[in-house]
């Protein structure tokens, strides 16, 4: 059987070479205190933490290319890292080696208003993109829940979904071009300022969602849309989560209207986020909430859309329904939704954040099965997520009375049952958070060995020494 | 230097083996009259025609897998073929061997109304998809101009664009899952009935647009949308093509409204199509036309959209503007648009159909350069295409007084000049027709050697013997 050849360590000589490439002040080496910040992402607990041997913070594609050539020659693992806001261990250096942080590559290079495109470096904070586009009447449709901290490079690496994917789709739809640095240190342009392009295979789309295993993104060309001039939200309260979710697949087929967002939150999720934010909303005691957003070029159209959808929902068992049509109220509700994950992250380290995705019409069945399984084991599983996309974020939370040992032994059993059901319903392991290190061992329950072999063939072709973000998604051999 | 090992011919024994797999009546061998139909696509003339040695028409993925295993073992080229309506020689067996026609794999396998998805075989005619969806209030947003004849499998293989991409995007946006047969004969499932999925690299998107070089598509899962209940078209007449095109990039940024289509046709294109269809439209004598489509969930919204856009265009130099808001008139105009290509195909074999794509805001500059270059050489170059996408279909037509020899010698000179300008404007060789055999030799003017090497690495990994559709897009070595 083929085996990974041994990696080399980052010697003082290598650290010097890195300093020669990127500048001494941008290399961290033999400095555990400062290296620690690059050893983890947002997965709670210490299990998925791994210290890098060195961190380098380059400023240009050329510097990254030199780093990759060095690392490839010396067989040292390199892990790209953005904001460290991931939820799959994707940017954690599980094999040690070098972390290349793109935090200094944070420039918006161009806003091309005529073509409705922009070019950015990977370290731009996602939220900044829309902040600076406002004055041009344009917007970028990506809306990950961590938008206030995450980097656009990470959004592209994970193919982030988020809150507006029902109408606008996920990150991949908006990435038209990339400048990449390959694992062997070549700088290559993919795609361009083109809304259509079949000049060769679509390597842009192969790179999107490749979780930093196939190349660095050093420039990203994003497609923009006209900024919707009007927006409103509907908040529907339901007695049970099942009632809320049963309605979801019917909304679009029943009305012909595609909302911008269809989010759901169960009672526990809303409560956790409200506690975390010190926020009170009068309706936090219902069984479950649906949050629907509508946007469009004018308020008449938005009103027409939400009224029709509102009527439809009223006919199908909603308890109460509220309209939020001013930015302050809208932002208050969305802030609750965006902070559920964060709220749970600090509650307990005995938890597992799931990112299941099923065919949208199966979401109610999936949640019922999930509650059934977790109930059987006596653990809590608050659920929230992107109902319109069939994307469920469940938090499996270990009871306080359990020992660490019991939690570690029981969790895989629970996950196996949940994943088996997910696959049975035609679902997959991750909708938007990625496989990374955390979910790798569960891949075989969802995809065939033949599929994994195709991934391997591509990875081995592009990264023959397996130095780029090794240990993620699948085994190299 | 590495070289392609010699291919084997299709011997009578191989033909027998094919018959054993797919049934004797579905194999054509030693029968030039019946093989001829599989030797070409819709490129006019004989230059790009190549006879297959055998044709096989399987019915199942399993049969295709057996054919591929046989061909891979015996080193025989295999070229997948759909309707033969391509415009790049992509489905033409340039190295002989076996053509595998998917014309018998023409079943709509499932319409999943709840998930708004459908599963089809590759040989379904694209237009049939929407015909059968009407009664469900759903639609598939692909709209290639050849929709009455082309197969959905070919649309996926070429990542077809077409007339509605301004609003709805190209084919890739709607392909959620594929069952493929790899060049080595493995059946592999990619993606699924999922609107989000990051469980491994996005091989679905790698396959879309791979022009039959990486695998057969034996099942295709398509995302559907609610059928727009209202539609209307605006037809704007302009004195010159330049005036018409100058306005295009401003329409969306200026109004905030994204039309479904923004098509353009110059005078000669309209005339050719009208002659071909024996159609008369009163306004065929203007310098250029823009055709804009609007659709939506109700006529109020569509009216609001086209009125706003209409007003905007009126302010910017339109001669006359017509509204077509009934299906009969709409279909008459669109039929003209759809048949321009067909009209030119029969006019002359001394022509080259181009599929240039540039950043949308550069389309006017590109057309001016194109007219300048072709004028210098004294040839006609009627232009039409998808203005909103920056996608120009120009037909370079050789003057009747030129000898064949002169045309063959001059065309590459003209193309080189046009392509150089296209690349200079940030454009690419093909927006939606594909590279295939026809455009392969021009790839190096648009993409880097490093990019081509990435394509080769992927191709060699998936198809080590280079038996699947060899001779297309790039050279294997």
Secondary structure (3-state) at A216: strand
Supply the ipTM of this predicted assembly: 0.96
Residue B129: pLDDT band (50, 70, 90) is very high
d(CA B110, CA A199): 32
Band (pLDDT 50/70/90 cuts) for residue B414 is very high
Question: What count of CB pairs under 8 Å joins A to B?
Answer: 269
Q: How far apart, in Å, are the Cα atoms of A209 and each of A160, A175, A369, A447, B200?
A: 8, 11, 28, 16, 8
What burial class does residue B456 get, using C-beta atoms within 10 Å of its C-beta: 0-12 exposed, 13-18 middle, 19+ buried? middle
Using a CB-CB cut-off of 8 Å, the residues of chain B touching A251 are none
The Cα B143–Cα B141 span in angstroms is 6
Pairwise CA distance, residues B212 & B341, whole Å: 23
What DSSP line would sit under B195-250, residue for residue?
S---SS--HHHHHTTSTTSS-EEEEEEEE-EEPPSEEEEEEEEESSHHHHHHHHHH
Contact call for A430 and B473, based on CB within 8 A: no
Chain B residues lying within 8 Å of A305, measured CB to CB = 297
% helix / strand / coil in chain B, to the nearest 5?
Answer: 40, 20, 40
Give CA–CA dist B330/B335, Å, rounded: 8
Enumerate domains of chain B plus CATH numbers.
108-226 (3.30.465.10), 230-340 (3.30.70.2190), 348-445 (3.30.70.2740)
Residues in A touching B304 (Cβ below 8 Å) = 298, 300-301
Strand intervals (E) in A24-165: 27-29, 54-56, 78-81, 98-101, 108-112, 117-120, 138-139
Residues forming beta bridges with residue B100, ordered by sequence position: B56, B80
Instruction: Give residue for tokens 């999922």.
Output: B194
Query: Is the Cβ pair B200, A447 closer than 8 Å?
Result: yes
Instruction: Please state, in angstroms and rounded to a whole number, the distance separating the CA atoms of residues B221 and B193.
Output: 7
CA angle A372, A378, A381 (to 5 degrees): 60
Going A207 to A208 to A213 to A215, the CA torsion angle's sign is positive
- Segment B297-326 shows an average pLDDT of 92
Which string of DSSP letters, residue by residue, matches A347-371? H-SSEEE-BEE--GGGHHHHHHHHH
- Angle between helical axes of B363-377 and B404-424 (0-180°, round to 10): 150
Token pair belonging to B263:
């098509």
**Nearest beta carbon to residue B196 from set A114, A304, A432:** A432
A148: tokens are 């206030």
Q: Which residue of A has its CA nearest to B176?
A: A359
**Residue to test with chain A: of B163, B184, B196, most A Cβ within 10 A:** B196
Predicted local confidence at residue B280, as pLDDT: 86
Nearest chain B alpha carbon to A183: B454
Distance from the B336 Cα atom to the nearest Cα atom in chain A, whole angstroms? 23
* CA-based nearest distance B429→chain A, Å: 6
Quote the crossing angle between the two packed helices B363-377 and B241-255, to the nearest 10°: 170
Alpha-carbon radius of gyration of chain B: 23
Our CA-based measurement puts residue B71 at a distance from the nearest CA of chain A, in whole angstroms, of 19
Chain A residues touching B203 at Cβ < 8 A: 206, 451, 454-455
β-strands A320-324, A356-357 pairing: unpaired
Burial A416-425 (b: 16+ CB within 10 A, else e): ebbbebbbeb
CB contact under 8 A, B194 and A428: yes
Alpha helix stretches (DSSP H) within A145-191: 152-158, 165-168
**Which residues in chain A have their CB less than 8 angstroms from residue B198's CB?**
158-159, 209, 211, 430-435
Contact between A201 and B199 using a beta-carbon 8 Å cutoff: no
pLDDT score at B72: 98
Q: pLDDT band for position B249 (50/70/90)?
A: confident
Mean pLDDT of B21-48: 95
Backbone angles phi, psi at B274, to 5 degrees: -65, -45
Give pLDDT, residue B284.
67
Q: Residues A374, A396: contact at Cβ < 8 Å?
A: yes
User: Nearest by CB to A359, which of B187, B193, B454?
Assistant: B193
**How many Å apart are CA B454 and CA B468, to the nearest integer?**
18
pLDDT at B2 over 70: no
Torsion A252-A300-A325-A322 (CA) sign: negative
Identify the band that residue B417 occupies on the pLDDT scale cut at 50, 70 and 90.
very high
| pTM, entire model | 0.97
CA-based nearest distance A211→chain B, Å: 9
What band does B468 get if pLDDT is binned at 50, 70 and 90? very high
**CA–CA distance, A351 with B398 (Å, rounded to integer):** 71
The rounded distance, in Å, linking the Cα atoms of A84 and A81 is: 6
Reported in sequence order, the residue ranges of A126-172 that DSSP labels E, i.e. its strands, are: 138-139
Cβ distance B428 to A197 less than 8 Å, yes or no, reads: yes
Q: What is the DSSP letter of A7?
A: P
Q: Which residues pair with A118 in a beta bridge?
A: A111, A222
Q: Is the dihedral of CA B357, A122, A51, A69 positive or negative?
A: positive
Question: Residues of chain A whose pLDDT is less than 70?
Answer: 1-4, 284
Spatial separation of the C-alpha atoms in residues A437 and B199, rounded to whole Å: 12
Q: Which residues lie closer than 8 Å to B26 by C-beta, 6 or more apart?
A: B19, B56, B57, B58, B59, B104
Average model confidence (pLDDT) across chain B = 94
Quote the pLDDT of residue B198: 97
Helix axes A299-315, A241-255, angle to 10 degrees: 130
Tens digit of pLDDT for each residue in B252-298? 999 999 999 999 999 989 998 999 999 888 776 788 999 999 999 88
C-alpha to C-alpha distances, B361 to A59, B31, B252, B294, nearest whole angstrom: 31, 51, 11, 21
Q: Which residue of A has its CA nearest to B302?
A: A301
Predicted local distance difference test score (pLDDT) of residue B282: 73
Question: What are the start-end ranges of the H helices in B298-403?
Answer: 299-315, 327-338, 340-345, 363-377
Terminal CA-CA length for chain B: 8
Q: Which residue of A has its CA nearest to B449?
A: A188
Give A319-349 pLDDT, tens digit per residue.
Answer: 999 999 888 888 888 999 888 888 887 777 7
How far does the CA of residue A234 sit from the closest CA of chain B (Å)? 19
* Residue A70 Cα, gap to closest chain B Cα (Å): 19
Query: Within 10 Å of residue B114's Cβ, how many Cβ atoms?
Result: 12
N-term to C-term CA, chain A: 8
Cβ pair A190:B448 closer than 8 A: no
Q: CA separation (Å) from A195 to A126, A270, A338, B257, B291?
A: 22, 39, 31, 17, 19
Choose between B157 and B337: higher pLDDT: B157
**What b/e string do you get for A309-333 counting C-beta neighbours within 10 Å, with b at 16 or more?**
bbebbeeeebeebbebbeeebbeeb
DSSP state at residue B7: P
Whether B158 sits inside 8 A of A229 (CB atoms) is no
Q: How close, in Å, is residue A426 to chain B by CA atoms? A: 7
DSSP state of A465: T
């Amino acid at each position: 059987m083929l085996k990974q050849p041994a990696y080399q360590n980052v010697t003082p000589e290598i650290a010097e070479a890195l300093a020669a490439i990127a500048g001494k002040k941008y290399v961290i080496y033999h400095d555990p205190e400062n290296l620690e910040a690059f050893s983890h992402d947002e997965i709670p607990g210490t299990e998925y933490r791994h210290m890098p041997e060195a961190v380098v913070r380059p400023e240009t594609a050329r510097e990254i290319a030199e780093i990759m050539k060095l690392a490839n020659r010396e067989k040292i693992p390199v892990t790209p890292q953005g904001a460290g806001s991931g939820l799959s261990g994707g940017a954690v250096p599980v094999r040690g080696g070098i972390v290349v942080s793109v935090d200094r590559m944070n420039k918006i290079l161009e806003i091309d208003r005529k073509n409705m495109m922009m070019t950015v470096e990977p370290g731009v904070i996602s939220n900044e993109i829309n902040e600076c586009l406002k004055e041009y009447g344009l917007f970028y449709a990506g809306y990950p829940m961590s938008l206030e901290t995450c980097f656009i490079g990470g959004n592209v690496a994970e193919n982030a979904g988020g809150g507006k994917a029902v109408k606008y789709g996920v990150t991949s739809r908006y990435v038209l071009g990339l400048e990449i640095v390959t694992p062997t240190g070549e700088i290559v342009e993919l795609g361009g300022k083109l809304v259509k392009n079949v000049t060769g295979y679509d390597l842009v789309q192969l790179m999107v969602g490749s979780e930093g295993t196939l190349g660095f993104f050093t420039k990203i060309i994003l497609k923009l849309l006209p900024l919707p001039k009007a927006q409103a939200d509907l908040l529907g309260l339901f007695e049970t989560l099942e009632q809320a979710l049963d309605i979801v697949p019917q909304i679009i087929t029943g009305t012909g209207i595609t909302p911008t967002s269809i989010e759901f939150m169960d009672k526990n999720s809303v409560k956790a986020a409200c506690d975390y934010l010190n926020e009170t909303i009068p309706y936090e005691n219902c069984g479950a909430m649906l949050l629907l957003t509508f946007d469009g070029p004018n308020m008449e159209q938005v009103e027409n859309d939400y009224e029709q959808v509102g009527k439809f929902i009223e006919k199908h068992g909603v308890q109460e329904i509220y309209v939020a049509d001013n930015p302050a109220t809208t932002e208050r509700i969305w802030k609750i939704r965006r902070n559920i994950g964060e709220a749970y992250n600090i509650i307990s380290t005995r938890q597992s954040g799931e990112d299941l995705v099923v065919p949208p019409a199966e979401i109610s069945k999936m949640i019922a099965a999930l509650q059934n399984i977790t109930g059987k084991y006596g653990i809590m599983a608050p659920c929230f997520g992107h109902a319109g996309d069939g994307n469920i974020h469940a938090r499996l939370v270990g009871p306080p009375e359990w020992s660490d040992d019991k939690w570690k032994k029981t969790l895989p059993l629970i996950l196996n049952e949940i994943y088996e059901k997910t696959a049975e319903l035609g679902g997959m392991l991750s909708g938007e958070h990625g496989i990374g290190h955390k979910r790798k061992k569960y891949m075989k329950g969802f995809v065939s060995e033949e599929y994994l072999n195709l991934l391997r063939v591509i990875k081995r072709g592009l990264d023959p020494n397996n130095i780029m973000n090794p240990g993620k998604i699948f085994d190299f051999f």
